[in-house]
Chain A
Amino acid sequence: QKEVEQNSGPLSVPEGAIASLNCTYSDRGSQSFFWYRQYSGKSPELIMSIYSNGDKEDGRFTAQLNKASQYVSLLIRDSQPSDSATYLCAVNQGNNNDMRFGAGTRLTVKP
């Protein structure tokens, strides 16, 4: 079982819709959770971090964490073509330097 699992996609949504990206992790003791966005040919950039159960909103992005289900998700409201990218879920397994990345979900937002 992979430590951090994501559906590779591609996930395709129409412009203006909500894109929902999901991630599960195996280490129940994980404490920090991150979403990165990576455009084609570029390096990843941090878009959200979440540490507690529940929702965290930042603009059009909402991260959701459920530690009991070992599940973290990212919702993108009012999706734009510029949101088309690969989204990487990352999990820090103990507030140390051991961060594990998922393989990423490729999102395409169609005009």
Chain B
Amino acid sequence: GAVVSQHPSRVICKSGTSVKIECRSLDFQATTMFWYRQFPKQSLMLMATSNEGSKATYEQGVEKDKFLINHASLTLSTLTVTSAHPEDSSFYICSAMDREYIQYFGAGTRLSVL
């Protein structure tokens, strides 16, 4: 199957700092990438849909100024959590969609804000 690389796998940061997470499709071009967050023992929650060359579409209740998404190329999307606070601590997962509309997931980033 296709490979999606997500970095970093774990981040520990102080409250008020910004954190950037990268998501790369390694062996295919992804016009569309997705960002999810997941709290322990809960379902995946879609945060936003990222389309190459255009603005991301955010789900209701997700602050676009808080979670900045950039999809500058067909293989890279980034999520920046700005001014992170402890309540932003979560497991963030990206996925990339191939030409057959199949989503492949990155390994996830575990963010801990102190």
Contacts and interface: CB of A to CB of B under 8 A. Distances in A.
Interface of A: 32, 34, 36, 41-46, 49, 88, 90, 92, 95-97, 99, 101, 103-104
**Residue from A34, A36, A44, A101 with most neighbouring chain B CB atoms (10 Å):** A44
A46 B104 contact: yes
Given A44-B44, A88-B44, A97 B97 contact: yes
Contact of B102 (A34, A41, A43, A103): A34
B32 interface: yes
Interface of B is mostly: strand
Contacts, number: 43
Contacts of A32: 101-102
Given A88-B44, A97-B32, A101-B44, A42 B108 contact: yes
B93 interface: yes
A90 B103 contact: yes
Contact of A43 (B32, B43, B108): B108
A101 B45 CA distance: 9
7 contacts: A32-B102, A34-B102, A42-B107, A43-B107, A44-B44, A88-B44, A97-B31
